[in-house]
Amino acid sequence: MSDPKAAWMPDWQNMQKQFFTAWTDAARGGVAPSMPVHEGFDVWLKTFGGRDSGNEVLDKVVGSARQFAEFMQGVVGQLATTRPDLATPAGMREALEKAMGGLTAQKNPIVDALRGISSEGAKGFEDMYREWLKIAKPLEADARNYMNMPAFGMNRESTERQQALMQAFTDYQDQNTRYNTLMFKASRLGLDKFESKLAERSEPGREITSMRGLYDVYVDAAEEGYAEVALSDEFREVYGAMVNAQMRVRQMVQGEVERSTAAVGMPGRTELDSVHKRMHDLRRRVASLEEQLAEAVAAMKAVTSAPPAAQGRRSRLLRPRSRGQARPAAKAKAAAKPKPVAAKKAPTAPPSQSKRALAPQCRNRPTVVAGADHHGTFENRPQIRPRGSRALQPEADRRRRRVAQAG
Amino acid sequence: MLRKLDDVHYGVTAKEAVYREDKVVLYHFKGDKAPTAKTPTLIVYALVNRPFMTDLQEDRSLVRNLLARGEDVYLIDWGYPDAADRYIGLDDYINGYIRRCVDVVAKRHGLKAINILGVCQGGAFSLCFAAIYPEKVKNLITMVTPVDFHTPDNMLSHWTQGMDVDLFVDTLGNVPGDLMNYCYLTLKPFRLNHQKYIGLVDILDDKAELENFLRMEKWIFDSPNQAGQAFREFIRDFYQANKLVEGGLKIGDKDVDLKRVTMPVLNIYAEQDHLVPPSASIPMKNVVGTKDYTVLAFKGGHIGIYVSGRAQREVAPTIHDWLSKRA
């Protein structure tokens, strides 16, 4: 049996063609189709098991086509079936507004368009609010009970929190209303612009000749109306206030949920944030240490790989020597004996970058050889040992030796 | 046919991961022939959406076009930040990841400085990087990159001005990619949400065009979450305080003075860009310190600059020719 969904494209194309033909005929003075075309979309959608086909793109296509169909049915249907005088720009605008069921804050094409954006990959503030309001709803009911109660006694803090939460809910609703009022204003402005554009396009040579053309003019007008409002100072203030109000509600709800879950031993947001902050700090430290280590290793490699003549006395000490090789005893003794600072010969030139980087390693070397190096870096280098060997002799051995000498 | 259409991918050019750190991966692209350019170019993409818009499909790929002309191309893939990444800030991105990726590329080629190609927000990052570490950047290319965030036609910026971004990030942690997408789509709700899909009827019998459409849809809705701290800093310092122009920007403990951007700069903006209006990008000329500044006004939009037929003919050749003269 063939998959009915696999054949969706020819059906879709046919429907679109029928759709455009029918409404173009209607616009040219014919009679509008008796069955609303968007109902046809609904029938077609049933093939996919309802409005949610499971295919994001398909749903968007169908949703948009429905919106288009409603638009056409509104405008052209009015034109074809009721009043011929509606063929003026003002009449078209009136027809569209009527088709929308009258423009109100609730029935508003921009709000519809914004809601239509919501999908698996795009979720707006309203979606987010709706989603977690499922959790917050009981809290809202609780908060409402506390709204007018005086806060005192052992539950004072809790009562105050509930009252603040209720206030935040109310504030968000107020800000949302202000936002929707502006969207209503934008829709009205869009219709004004639609009317103006139709008037412009009624000039000879600029007439709209297709349904798509008419729809495109409507979209241009709606976008312009929306943009004008969205770029206004008032919108900037209202949008910010709406977002901030929602965040305050959400933050308070998160706090309440965290308090509840903490009672049963579940980690909350605060606890996880703390862990993540520590992780982040550690990652930064590790990255920094890795870089320092890499620099030190690179500097050491640069020195050890350089020809012997280019290396200073200290760097020569880093070169491994075979066990049978004679130790420069005199030099070792001289190195062990501290010299007066004034006796040191001043360097004729500053040390190279690589030697500077190596210097701390050399200075620390006796300590490393004395047993502090747990990484084994220098442990097989006996030529370094004399400098620290005396310090390493156990005190008991030295005492035994002194006793023997005295004896 | 439907099954085939569902199975669309992007990021088509062969590539090799040469460095990884946390969720960041540095890729080296492999062309059909060995690169002839002596200096490699590192693409620094925005944190929003995936960087493979630059390599969407075989016949629409900035990367592929650059490789074909002999450029040696690397790209930073930021990955998908999760809750454990919410404290990653701009210091981590610019002084951390980008710097280390630049160092890796430079070391691989035995160079002290490489070319950087920054895209959108990644372009703003690249500008900051070039100002902090001018010695590491041989040539800087910026595409659809905002510099002045306070121009009157910048709708996104307008909307952020009244936001309490600290409250926003403290509440949400990371900023969901879905929310970012929603905000972009609400810039033109009718055009991007309805008209575009109505237009699909025109290409329904064209398999290749349908696949292109679906590939683009997939890319658009593939939006990583934004690391909260980086989002906070970007909104506060770039969008709200406009510090790239006004001055006073610090990334971590480093001052960002765009007058230190003295290497050659090629700035490419899109004339119909609704996300980064030309007015936001054009002022770059006045704030950078370079005497070698070139600008290309591309006839197209924010996305078209990578994937349109015109882009294939104009953008990569311009970049290649410009780099060749400064090799």
The pLDDT, as a whole number, for residue A52 is: 52
Residues A72 and A130 in one domain: no
Q: What is the DSSP string of B268-287?
A: EEETT-SSS-HHHHTTHHHH
Residues A137 and A248 in one domain: yes
Greatest CA separation found in chain B? 57
The verdict on residue B225 lying in a domain is no
Strand partners, B268: B143, B296
The pLDDT, as a whole number, for residue A92 is: 73
Q: Is the pLDDT of residue A313 over 60?
A: no
- Taking each helix axis from N to C terminus, what angle separates A233-262 and A125-146, rounded to the nearest 10 degrees? 60
The verdict on residue A91 lying in a domain is no
The verdict on residue B292 lying in a domain is yes
Strand partners, B141: B117, B266
Alpha-carbon B267 to chain mean position: 13
Query: Mean pLDDT in chain A?
Result: 69
Residues A168 and A50 in one domain: no
Q: Which residue has the higher pLDDT, B88 or A72?
A: B88
Under an 8 A CB cutoff, do A273 and B88 touch?
no
The pLDDT, as a whole number, for residue A82 is: 52
Span between the terminal Cα atoms of chain A, in Å:
111
Q: How many domains in chain A? A: 3
The pLDDT, as a whole number, for residue A73 is: 65
How sure is the predictor about A396, in pLDDT bands with cuts at 50, 70 and 90? Answer: low
Query: Are A317 and A331 a contacting pair, CB within 8 Å?
Result: no
- Taking each helix axis from N to C terminus, what angle separates A156-200 and A109-117, rounded to the nearest 10 degrees? 110
Q: Is the pLDDT of residue A342 over 60?
A: no
Closest Cα of chain B to A328: distance in Å? Answer: 40
Q: Which residue has the higher pLDDT, A215 or A284?
A: A284
Q: Can you read off the two tokens belonging to residue A249?
A: 């509600």
The pLDDT, as a whole number, for residue B100 is: 97
| Domain ranges, residue B250 | 10-153+243-324
Q: Is the pLDDT of residue A49 over 80?
A: no
Cα–Cα distance measured from residue A5 to residue A55, given in angstroms and rounded to the nearest whole number = 11
Residues A300 and A252 in one domain: no
The verdict on residue B287 lying in a domain is yes
Q: What is the pTM of this model?
A: 0.78
How sure is the predictor about A25, in pLDDT bands with cuts at 50, 70 and 90? Answer: low
The pLDDT, as a whole number, for residue A5 is: 42
The verdict on residue A70 lying in a domain is yes
According to DSSP, residue B175 is labeled B
The verdict on residue B291 lying in a domain is yes
Q: What are phi and psi of A260, to 5 degrees?
A: -65, -45
Active-site residue, B183 included: no
Residues A57 and A130 in one domain: no
Under an 8 A CB cutoff, do B163 and A248 touch?
no
Nearest chain B Cα to A238, which residue?
B162
The pLDDT, as a whole number, for residue B13 is: 95
Alpha-carbon dihedral angle through residues B146, B147, B149, B155, given to the nearest 10 degrees:
-20
Lowest-confidence pick of A24-28, A164-168, A399-403, B121-125: A24-28
Q: Is the pLDDT of residue A364 over 50?
A: no
| B209 close contact with A: CB closer than 8 A | no
The verdict on residue A216 lying in a domain is yes
Question: Helix, strand or coil for residue B248?
Answer: coil
The pLDDT, as a whole number, for residue A42 is: 54
Cα–Cα distance measured from residue A232 to residue A162, given in angstroms and rounded to the nearest whole number = 35
**Nearest by CB to A223, which of B86, B183, B191?**
B191
Closest Cα of chain A to B225: distance in Å? Answer: 11
Contacts of A60 (CB under 8 A, 6+ apart): A119, B193, B197
Cα–Cα distance measured from residue B134 to residue B113, given in angstroms and rounded to the nearest whole number = 9
Residues A137 and A225 in one domain: yes
Burial class (CB in 10 A: 0-12, 13-18, 19+), B75: buried
The verdict on residue B304 lying in a domain is yes
Residues A198 and A246 in one domain: yes
**Nearest by CB to B178, which of A123, A222, A243?**
A123
The verdict on residue A106 lying in a domain is no
Q: Which residue of B150, B156, B182 to mutate against A (max A Cβ within 10 Å)? A: B182
Rounded to an integer, the average pLDDT of B68-81 is: 98
pLDDT in tens, B245-273: 999 999 999 999 999 999 999 999 999 99
Strand partners, A119: A122
pLDDT in tens, A108-120: 777 777 777 676 6
Cα–Cα distance measured from residue B242 to residue A152, given in angstroms and rounded to the nearest whole number = 47
Instruction: Identify residue B69 by its one-letter amino acid code.
Output: R
pLDDT in tens, A263-272: 899 999 999 9
The sign one gets for the Cα dihedral A267, A273, A279, A282 is negative
Query: Are B251 and B91 a contacting pair, CB within 8 Å?
Result: yes
Under an 8 A CB cutoff, do B221 and A279 touch?
no
Residues A205 and A165 in one domain: yes
Rounded to an integer, the average pLDDT of B169-186 is: 94
Q: Which residues in chain A touch residue B178, judged by CB atoms under 8 angstroms apart?
A: 120-123
Q: Is the pLDDT of residue A126 over 50?
A: yes
Q: What radius of gyration, in Å, describes the C-alpha atoms of chain A?
A: 41
The pLDDT, as a whole number, for residue B79 is: 97
Query: Are B72 and B37 a contacting pair, CB within 8 Å?
Result: yes
The pLDDT, as a whole number, for residue A20 is: 56
Q: Which residue has the higher pLDDT, B68 or B4?
A: B68
Residues A205 and A253 in one domain: yes
How sure is the predictor about A193, in pLDDT bands with cuts at 50, 70 and 90? Answer: very high
Residues A128 and A71 in one domain: no
Cα–Cα distance measured from residue A125 to residue A131, given in angstroms and rounded to the nearest whole number = 10
How sure is the predictor about A377, in pLDDT bands with cuts at 50, 70 and 90? Answer: very low
According to DSSP, residue A51 is labeled S
Alpha-carbon A237 to chain mean position: 23
Q: How many domains in chain B? A: 1
Q: What radius of gyration, in Å, describes the C-alpha atoms of chain B?
A: 19
Q: Nearest-CA neighbor of B148 among B242, B235, B233?
A: B242
Residues A243 and A299 in one domain: no
Cα–Cα distance measured from residue A24 to residue A210, given in angstroms and rounded to the nearest whole number = 6
| Domain ranges, residue A59 | 1-82
Under an 8 A CB cutoff, do A276 and B196 touch?
no
Tell me, what CATH number does B31's domain have? 3.40.50.1820
The verdict on residue A321 lying in a domain is no
Q: Nearest-CA neighbor of B141 among B11, B310, B313, B305?
A: B305
Cα–Cα distance measured from residue A141 to residue A47, given in angstroms and rounded to the nearest whole number = 41
pLDDT in tens, B271-302: 999 999 999 999 999 999 999 999 999 999 99
The verdict on residue B204 lying in a domain is no
Residues A122 and A257 in one domain: yes
* Strands B137-143 and B55-57, bridge-based pairing: unpaired
The pLDDT, as a whole number, for residue B302 is: 94
ipTM attached to this prediction:
0.92
Lowest-confidence pick of A24-33, A276-285, A372-381: A372-381
Rounded to an integer, the average pLDDT of B35-39 is: 97
Closest Cα of chain B to A243: distance in Å? Answer: 7
